[in-house]
């Protein structure tokens, strides 16, 4: 009886079904791993895939049930159900599924085939799903750590490999450091607003800027700027944006390759979900403010640096894993452009590009993983040479992923980049236009190193004659990624519609002053809520007795 009083209502718990299912599967795999004899551990991978399939069905069910009442807040406004959370859950689930599928063969080759690997991957996915749905800074922190701790362990999973251990330690220390910085930002936000709920923070922050709600002290504006900068810096660490990227190349190189793929895609997508949610829901009023630096100039600088440094560093790499690591750093810069543009096209581009990037980057890594054979590590550029002669299909698939990463039509990467750049140009601001030009220039630079891989595959002679074996899971995931990459590129309309619907009710405080570089905050009425806020944009809250 006590439980019935404690849990808000059993109905609300049902909305958590997908996450609970995945958690149960993760625990189940741990037990299954103990029961299975040594040779049969692959079964745990199947169980993990089944778990993800069930979870995807669960997400679809929750969507079906709640589609008319979106967005809804449950569990004392801790957890939000909206289109944004749905699409990010689908993205992380798909990337987890593909990462598991491409891990099976890799772990066999590394002789590290155990079930706990898949269990940790599922725990990380649970964390990411909670990030996608969090609506409270505390929830964000806990789910972020849930994701991060699993990934630390996964990076160091190859215990007999020095590089893997070292990468895990570096990633751990810098991850914990960045969490500390993020937390300090959060604590200062709490100091100013006294709230942890994103919507309450948004309201308090706008009141604070207007000077009608200065509980802490009248001149404490700088404190707010400092808080936002620290929160942003902590999160930019997680997405590996320059100058917070120093952990990324080492961690990506040392980690088991499927985990590198998972980190560069799912962890990045979840971190972006968090960044977008916090900055668009809680701090939209701080985008540009007269007396404060605001987060826009900060992000513009970071995006410009990220794109440029990532691309230039990638040009000099001979290790494909490291090259793709730097490439994914520069891709993070492009994604940030959507947040900077702060208009519908930009937000659509942000979600769309993350979706496209997930598929193409996973595909590229899947092919690198296939090159890992008996004693060939497969992460050097020369391992790719002459791929067209050995496995023409793989070479063509890799070509698709690379031209998509470079942003050449007719692939999904092109449409995504187009949307992101168009968002910047639509914003019609001097600096944003310059940024768009820089982004296009960077795309051109990136052709150079993608072309290096293409040249190796199509022109160079093979460096070894060991055959490349595909198993059924790698084949399915590669075909899936290739087909979708091309399909989204040729027929992007439905995906653009999905991305648009996702961002429609994400930011409760609409930012519509793109024309003026320094918008003045709109005056508030008695209710303390900005009158320009569309009441329909506020999430539903299930009332409680």
Q: Judged by CB under 8 A, does residue 350 bind other proteins? A: no
Q: Judged by CB under 8 A, does residue 126 bind other proteins? A: yes
CB of 159 to other proteins, least distance (A): 6
Binding other proteins (rule: CB under 8 A), the pick from 226, 418, 447, 480 is 226
Half-sphere exposure in the Cβ direction for 443 (13 Å, CA): 22
CB of 123 to other proteins, least distance (A): 5
Residue 370: burial class (beta carbons within 10 Å; 0-12, 13-18, 19+): buried
CB of 263 to other proteins, least distance (A): 16
Q: Judged by CB under 8 A, does residue 169 bind other proteins? A: yes
Task: Number of residues interacting with other proteins: please give it, by CB under 8 A.
Answer: 67
343: left (phi over 0), alpha (psi -120 to 50) or beta: beta
Q: Rank residues 258 and 416 by Cβ distance to other proteins and give the closer one.
A: 258
Q: Rank residues 213 and 354 by Cβ distance to other proteins and give the closer one.
A: 213
CB of 405 to other proteins, least distance (A): 25
Which of 293, 219, 199 lies closest to 528, judged by CA? 199
In whole angstroms, give the CA distance from residue 154 to residue 120.
Answer: 7
Q: Residue 495: CB partners within 8 Å, gap ≥ 6? A: 352, 355, 412, 488
In whole angstroms, give the CA distance from residue 98 to residue 368.
Answer: 14
| 245-284 positions binding other proteins, by CB under 8 A | 246, 250
Starting at the earlier edge strand, list the strands of the sheet with 72-74.
79-81, 72-74, 540-541
Q: Rank residues 190 and 418 by Cβ distance to other proteins and give the closer one.
A: 190
Q: Judged by CB under 8 A, does residue 183 bind other proteins? A: yes
Sign, CA dihedral 339-56-403-462, equals positive
Binding other proteins (rule: CB under 8 A), the pick from 216, 445, 470, 486 is 216
**C-alpha 317, offset from chain centre:** 24
212 forms beta bridges with none
Q: Judged by CB under 8 A, does residue 152 bind other proteins? A: yes
Q: Rank residues 179 and 514 by Cβ distance to other proteins and give the closer one.
A: 179
Half-sphere exposure in the Cβ direction for 164 (13 Å, CA): 18
For residue 362, cis peptide bond before it (omega within 30 degrees of 0): no
Percentages (nearest 5) of helix, strand, coil residues in the chain: 70, 5, 25
Q: Rank residues 75 and 279 by Cβ distance to other proteins and give the closer one.
A: 75
Sign, CA dihedral 533-536-538-541, equals positive
In whole angstroms, give the CA distance from residue 210 to residue 327.
Answer: 42
Q: Judged by CB under 8 A, does residue 313 bind other proteins? A: no
Q: Rank residues 43 and 153 by Cβ distance to other proteins and give the closer one.
A: 153
The Cα-based distances of 227 to 216, 273, 278, 458 in angstroms read 14, 19, 13, 51
H-helix or E-strand spanning residue 163: helix 162-193
Name residue, tokens 């909206």: 82
CB of 72 to other proteins, least distance (A): 15
CB of 323 to other proteins, least distance (A): 17
Q: Judged by CB under 8 A, does residue 146 bind other proteins? A: yes
Residue 523: burial class (beta carbons within 10 Å; 0-12, 13-18, 19+): exposed
In whole angstroms, give the CA distance from residue 77 to residue 448.
Answer: 48
Binding other proteins (rule: CB under 8 A), the pick from 110, 166, 460, 464 is 166
Q: Judged by CB under 8 A, does residue 1 bind other proteins? A: no
Binding other proteins (rule: CB under 8 A), the pick from 53, 57, 69, 176 is 176
Binding other proteins (rule: CB under 8 A), the pick from 4, 10, 68, 160 is 160
Binding other proteins (rule: CB under 8 A), the pick from 17, 30, 476, 542 is 30
In whole angstroms, give the CA distance from residue 415 to residue 493.
Answer: 10
The Cα-based distances of 225 to 96, 124, 209, 217, 276 in angstroms read 36, 32, 11, 15, 18
Interface characters, 76-115, with other proteins (x: CB under 8 A): x-xx------------------------------------
Q: Which stretch binds other proteins (CB under 8 A): 43-51, 147-155, 276-284, 517-525?
A: 147-155
Q: Judged by CB under 8 A, does residue 149 bind other proteins? A: yes
Q: Rank residues 161 and 463 by Cβ distance to other proteins and give the closer one.
A: 161
What are 281's two structure tokens?
Answer: 């829901």
Q: Which stretch binds other proteins (CB under 8 A): 96-104, 118-126, 275-283, 408-416?
A: 118-126
Q: Judged by CB under 8 A, does residue 298 bind other proteins? A: no
Q: Judged by CB under 8 A, does residue 23 bind other proteins? A: yes
Q: Which residues bind other proteins (CB under 8 A)?
A: 6-8, 23, 27, 30, 75-76, 78-79, 116, 119-120, 123, 126, 130, 136-139, 141-143, 145-146, 149-150, 152-153, 156-157, 159-160, 162, 165-166, 168-170, 172-174, 176-177, 180-181, 183-184, 186-188, 190-191, 194-196, 215-220, 222-223, 226, 246, 250
């Amino acid at each position: 009886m006590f439980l019935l009083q404690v849990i808000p209502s059993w109905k609300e718990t049902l909305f958590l079904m997908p996450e609970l299912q995945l958690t149960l599967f993760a625990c189940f795999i741990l037990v299954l791993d103990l029961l299975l004899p040594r040779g049969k551990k692959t079964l745990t991978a199947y169980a993990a895939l089944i778990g993800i399939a069930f979870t995807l069905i669960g997400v679809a069910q929750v969507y079906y049930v709640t589609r008319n009442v979106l967005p809804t807040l449950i569990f004392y406004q801790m957890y939000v159900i909206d289109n944004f959370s749905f699409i990010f859950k689908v993205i992380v689930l798909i990337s987890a599924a593909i990462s598991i599928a491409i891990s099976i063969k890799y772990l066999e080759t590394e002789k590290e085939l155990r079930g706990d690997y898949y269990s940790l991957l599922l725990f990380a996915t649970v964390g990411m799903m909670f990030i996608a749905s969090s609506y409270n800074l505390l929830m964000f922190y806990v789910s972020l750590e849930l994701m991060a701790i699993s990934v630390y362990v996964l990076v160091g999973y190859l215990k007999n490999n020095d590089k893997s251990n070292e990468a895990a330690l570096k990633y751990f220390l810098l991850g914990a450091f960045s969490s500390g910085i993020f937390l300090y930002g959060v604590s200062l936000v709490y100091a100013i607003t006294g709230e942890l709920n994103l919507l309450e923070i948004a309201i308090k922050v706008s009141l604070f800027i207007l000077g009608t709600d200065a509980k802490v002290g009248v001149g404490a504006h700088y404190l707010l700027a400092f808080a936002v900068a620290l929160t942003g810096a902590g999160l930019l660490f997680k997405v590996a944006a320059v100058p917070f990227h120093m952990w990324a190349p080492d961690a990506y190189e040392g980690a088991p390759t499927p985990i590198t793929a998972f980190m560069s895609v799912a962890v990045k997508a979840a971190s972006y979900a968090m960044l977008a949610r916090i900055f668009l829901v809680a701090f939209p009023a701080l985008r540009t403010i007269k007396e404060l630096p605001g987060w826009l100039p900060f992000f513009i600088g970071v995006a410009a640096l990220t794109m440029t440094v990532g691309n230039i560093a990638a040009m000099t790499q001979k290790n494909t894993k490291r090259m793709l690591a730097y490439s994914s750093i520069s891709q993070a810069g492009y994604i940030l452009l959507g947040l900077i543009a702060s208009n519908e096209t930009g937000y659509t581009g942000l979600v769309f590009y993350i979706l496209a990037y997930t598929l193409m980057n996973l595909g590229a890594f899947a092919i690198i993983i296939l090159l890992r054979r008996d004693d060939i590590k497969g992460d050097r550029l020369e391992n790719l040479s002459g791929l067209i002669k050995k496995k023409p299909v793989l070479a063509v698939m890799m070509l698709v992923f690379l031209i998509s990463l470079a942003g050449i039509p007719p692939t999904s990467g092109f449409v995504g980049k187009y949307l992101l750049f168009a968002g910047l140009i639509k914003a019609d601001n001097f600096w944003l236009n310059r940024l768009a030009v820089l982004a296009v220039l960077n795309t051109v630079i990136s052709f150079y190193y993608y072309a290096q891989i293409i040249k190796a595959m199509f022109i160079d002679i093979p460096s070894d004659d060991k055959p490349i074996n595909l198993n059924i899971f790698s084949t399915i995931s590669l075909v899936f990624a290739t087909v979708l990459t091309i399909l989204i590129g040729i027929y992007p309309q439905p995906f653009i519609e999905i991305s648009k619907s996702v961002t429609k009710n994400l930011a409760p405080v609409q930012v519509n002053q793109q024309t003026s570089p320094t918008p003045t905050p709109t005056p508030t009425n008695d209710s303390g809520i900005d009158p320009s806020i569309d009441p329909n944009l506020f999430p539903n809250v299930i009332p409680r007795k």
